């Protein structure tokens, strides 16, 4: 009997340097029934040409072309056209270890879950990726797994930084009524997971390290500050309202997430030039206001990463000094690399 069809959705924008290797890692999976949906979203390099070649090379690949609508719109477009009983998302600069989809399918069916996830390992060079690939066949540590009901998954996974939509396999029924929120560039993964919670019966997360996350120097999180970077704060504000409707007692945890997002954004602004910082003054003021509001939430400090409460207090009371000290610290770190 033929195995269930898995739809693998790959959005790509100007991915000529890495798309082919990503797709080869998907098509080379040990799981034997896949369709791959590549969405070329407004690429201006050779990505379109590479997509055409991949579609000709592999019979289970379909390519769609959009006019730079953003990663959420690209994923949504593919979801509407996916035929699989299961769906997964892969970023175009990442790669999959050969057994990942087979393993996740095995666990999602064995546990009767709606979602199965695995861990990822970061790489930035071909040598590092080779080491990861080779280690997968050399007796990895025993794989552990945790089963969660919907609210448990929120508390013990999403609110503990497992906010990525990739490295997971979803039953199609789970995401039929949910789509990625468009117009957001940072944090849309997390919001997607929060939005599916009302439909989630059970999830399984495993320690299997099957996903290869490429530390892309041109990735969104590595770029200089732009106004769209405020999206990570906005996404957690939207998520907070949904989460608190489910469980009001999670207010300290959601406040900590917003504080963390604010501090990350303030750090991006700090690294701008003096002229850019002046232009971003309104955004910095917004950050400070949102920070001060959330710091009033009782118990939030306990859920912040180490050192963040002190940094948040410094930024809240002395924003100019904090920005200056942050710049100096990052320059020192850079000089030591």
- pLDDT tens digits for range 285-328: 999 999 999 999 999 999 999 999 999 999 999 999 999 999 99
Q: Residue 318: its pLDDT value, please?
A: 95
Indicate the pLDDT class of residue 267, thresholds 50, 70 and 90. very high
Residue 143: CB partners within 8 Å, gap ≥ 6? 206, 207, 208
- pTM comes to 0.92
- pLDDT tens digits for range 164-176: 999 999 999 999 9
The better pLDDT of the pair 273, 262 is held by 262
The better pLDDT of the pair 28, 133 is held by 28
Percent of the chain, pLDDT > 90? 83
Indicate the pLDDT class of residue 217, thresholds 50, 70 and 90. low
CATH of domain 6-214: 3.90.550.10
Q: Where are the domains of the chain?
A: 6-214, 224-336
Q: Residue 142: its pLDDT value, please?
A: 80
Is 246 a residue whose pLDDT tops 90?
Answer: yes
Indicate the pLDDT class of residue 218, thresholds 50, 70 and 90. low
- pLDDT tens digits for range 155-212: 999 999 999 999 999 999 999 999 999 998 889 999 999 999 999 999 999 999 999 9
Average pLDDT, the chain: 93
- pLDDT tens digits for range 1-49: 678 999 999 999 999 999 999 999 999 999 999 999 999 999 999 999 9
Is 139 a residue whose pLDDT tops 60?
Answer: no
- pLDDT tens digits for range 69-104: 999 999 999 999 999 999 999 999 999 999 999 999
């Amino acid at each position: 009997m033929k195995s269930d069809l898995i739809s693998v959705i790959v959005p790509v924008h100007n991915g000529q340097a890495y798309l082919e290797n990503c797709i080869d890692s998907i098509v080379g999976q040990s799981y034997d029934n896949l369709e791959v949906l590549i969405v070329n979203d407004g690429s201006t390099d050779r990505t379109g040409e590479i997509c055409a070649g991949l579609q000709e090379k592999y019979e289970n690949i379909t390519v769609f072309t959009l006019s730079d609508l953003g990663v959420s719109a690209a994923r949504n477009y593919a979801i509407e056209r996916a035929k699989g009983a299961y769906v997964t998302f892969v970023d175009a600069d990442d790669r999959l270890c050969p057994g990942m989809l087979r393993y996740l399918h095995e666990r999602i069916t064995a546990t009767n879950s709606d979602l199965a996830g695995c861990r990822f390992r970061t790489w930035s060079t071909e040598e590092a990726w080779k080491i990861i690939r080779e280690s997968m066949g050399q007796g990895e540590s025993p794989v552990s797994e945790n089963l969660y009901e919907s609210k448990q998954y929120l508390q013990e996974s999403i609110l503990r930084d497992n906010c990525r939509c990739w490295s997971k396999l979803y039953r199609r029924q789970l995401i039929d009524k949910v789509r990625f929120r468009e117009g957001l560039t940072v944090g849309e993964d997390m919001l997607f997971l929060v939005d599916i919670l009302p439909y989630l019966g059970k999830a399984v997360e495993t320690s299997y390290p099957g996903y290869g996350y490429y530390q892309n120097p041109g990735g969104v999180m590595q770029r200089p500050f732009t106004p769209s970077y405020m999206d990570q704060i906005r996404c957690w504000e939207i998520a907070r309202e949904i989460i608190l409707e489910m469980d009001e007692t999670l207010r300290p945890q959601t406040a900590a997430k917003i504080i963390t997002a604010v501090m990350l954004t303030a750090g991006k602004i700090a690294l701008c030039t003096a002229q850019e910082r002046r232009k971003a003054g309104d955004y910095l003021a917004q950050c400070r206001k949102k920070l001060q509001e959330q710091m009033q939430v009782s118990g939030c400090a306990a859920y912040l990463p180490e050192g963040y409460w002190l940094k948040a207090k410094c930024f809240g009371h002395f924003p100019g000094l904090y920005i200056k000290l942050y710049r100096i610290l990052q320059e020192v770190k850079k000089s030591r690399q």
